Structure 1
């Protein structure tokens, strides 16, 4: 009987992990399908090196917002203020740089600090005053946008200094791109083999060696293809490199640190998390601070890319970030989601915008299509939970 129970638990565990992998693979396959459809519809123009580079640059702002948003969603919260926070911090950085002639890097640093403080403001109301996150961040959406309009007097602030523009407009040289690719290959090999070593050390189930070797080969192929295609245009955009670094850092935080495990625990069952000794209020405060930091980073990046700040910057960006997180596998009920999935979701959103723009589709169709994709993603999540 004991052996039977153990076998049953092993089967459940395997199918649970398989379900997560299937969701991830399905999402990637959906992205590939979108790219194929647009490539055919645009006679191959969608997958030219120039458009791939522009597409990835378009993904960066939503991708960075989605990284912060997915943490908040995993914890069972929501943040509707990130679009306005993005606009406000980008506007502040531009004002300091253009109107007050402050150094670009100093302006960016000040904007990031303000992003953290505004995130702490949201988190304090949610964690320590028990006001629902929906209401707190909806208020933030209005307040932050109002402050931006007030301090900018409604003007578009431009042009920025060269050092400010660098972060959003620079490209790595082709040789630097290939060096980056080599580093990425060694990192992939190390991570996969180290994972096997750790599992063996603790007598955990190991996948067949050929599966890990196949995984390494596939990743090396795509890394090489990624660098090669981007180098055919102008090289790897610095903004894309920043997004990839943030994705790796926050993926590590979510899956390999005590803080990350506590975030999932809070989202899975907040009462159980409290009983286990987790300081839910402190974690919630930190989450909103991190989200504020990433929103500010996205604001600075957008301002740098456009070489201007305006009162309309970041409008509806919070909806794109939420949609990207959900499309990427996060559950609005909390406890489920990955940083990688959120970034893939952002890439899906950017691909739709980019492809439909190339087809000269009316703008309203972009909203319709993205809305339907979001609805289907949530519906699939509900079905999988019921099963």
Structure 2
């Protein structure tokens, strides 16, 4: 009995159709991979472009060792606030009081240390305690009474600014002891020597690059295990190498200035800790769930009130940390300290990829958004641009970032 198989032309047609389907599927996967986090990916490109632009406009002064160090010192407290603010925004809230809390915690620390003559560390502990109390105050009204966070923190902005004036009796206090000043103005250098540079700073930079590469590789393996789309291995290697070069250049510049700033170590520890909290803990997943879909989160058994309460306690704690850093930086406490800090922190979170409606955002993205604001401010200052123009530029950048977020949501909705 003779059997006849499909004609050669039919076989080729079937193979061609299979190949075309595979190519289409592969292309769709690549397109989905590239566009899934378009805004989060684009922010890094925007950051590099802004740095390059201002480096050219300032004739390289922006990237000089001394200026890079100054950027770290001058904007570190905004970056600390941005860490807490992005978590608040992910949960679908906002906090307008952080600038006033920065002022209040710095004032309490100054009264304890400068006026009362207590040890410098007592001032730090007192500031942290005040920050926790403030956060608990906000958390109670938002989580358990049900008043919107916008109203609660707006009231807190006025309340804690007034308390700052009372604590300081409308006068400035200075100076802090040398140990307290080291929080924001201290450097670690000379630990490993170096001929004209600080080898310890380069070592820390190298460790950071290795840690980034190992963490990225482990994340990649985990996604492959769960059959999630990942970038090609060459592209992954290129990304790690690019980030490594940027970090090592940054470390090289710091090593040729004054070494590793103490405040940068504090900031790095906070970024790593909160990166783990938001991505790898139950609390972090619950924050995203609340911001993404409150009803679904409640039906899933998330204790929404408890999570919201601790979100604001955390914001109060980080506001206190920022208050300590700021008061250490200016070597004193002032009634007007922290003015408009809340807007800078909110802008950093939104520019860094947080969504207006909540449920979206990362700590690293907020850091990049804060650095974009810092580079723009520093670059325009170096160029001698008027403060009014600087405010206009910052406002336009924030508006474009939020508009881009809305555009992405509409496009995603239209494609469904």
| TM-score normalized by the length of structure 1 | 0.93
Q: 1:234 to 1:8 in 2, by over 3 A?
A: same
Counterparts of 2:111 and 2:369, CA distance in 1: 32
Cα pair 1:72 1:78 within 8 Å, conserved = yes
Report the 3-state secondary structure (helix = DSSP H, G, I; strand = E; otherwise coil) of the residue aligned with 2:188.
Answer: coil
Counterparts of 1:385 and 1:124, CA distance in 2: 32
The CA deviation at 1:8 is: 11
Counterparts of 1:8 and 1:96, CA distance in 2: 67
Q: What is aligned with 1:307?
A: 331
Cα pair 2:33 2:231 within 8 Å, conserved = no
Q: 1:15 to 1:110 in 2, by over 3 A?
A: farther
Cα pair 2:101 2:160 within 8 Å, conserved = yes
Q: What is aligned with 2:347?
A: 323
CA offsets per residue over residues 196-248 of structure 1, 9 Å max, x none? 44335445455433333323322322222111111111112111222122112
Q: 1:261 to 1:125 in 2, by over 3 A?
A: same
Q: What is aligned with 1:86?
A: 102
1:221 pairs with one of 235, 245, 250? 245
Q: 1:371 to 1:288 in 2, by over 3 A?
A: same
Q: CA RMSD in A?
A: 2.0
CA offsets per residue over residues 109-129 of structure 1, 9 Å max, x none? 221121011001001000000
Q: 1:211 to 1:33 in 2, by over 3 A?
A: closer
Counterparts of 2:112 and 2:299, CA distance in 1: 47
Which one has a bigger Cα radius of gyration? 2
Deviates more, 1:40-49 or 1:141-150: 40-49
Q: Does 1:134 align with 2:144?
A: no
CA offsets per residue over residues 261-304 of structure 1, 9 Å max, x none? 11011001111100110000000000000000001100100110
Q: Does 1:164 align with 2:180?
A: yes
Name structure 2 gaps, 5 residues minimum.
Answer: 1-22, 190-197, 412-416
Cα pair 1:118 1:292 within 8 Å, conserved = yes
Report the 3-state secondary structure (helix = DSSP H, G, I; strand = E; otherwise coil) of the residue aligned with 1:80.
Answer: coil
Deviates more, 1:329-338 or 1:36-45: 36-45
Q: What is aligned with 2:370?
A: 346
2:159 pairs with one of 129, 143, 146? 143
Deviates more, 1:142-151 or 1:359-368: 359-368
Cα pair 2:183 2:328 within 8 Å, conserved = yes
Q: 1:15 to 1:296 in 2, by over 3 A?
A: farther
Q: What is aligned with 1:239?
A: 263
Deviates more, 1:143-152 or 1:208-217: 208-217
Q: What is aligned with 1:363?
A: 387
Report the 3-state secondary structure (helix = DSSP H, G, I; strand = E; otherwise coil) of the residue aligned with 1:233.
Answer: coil
Counterparts of 2:178 and 2:36, CA distance in 1: 45
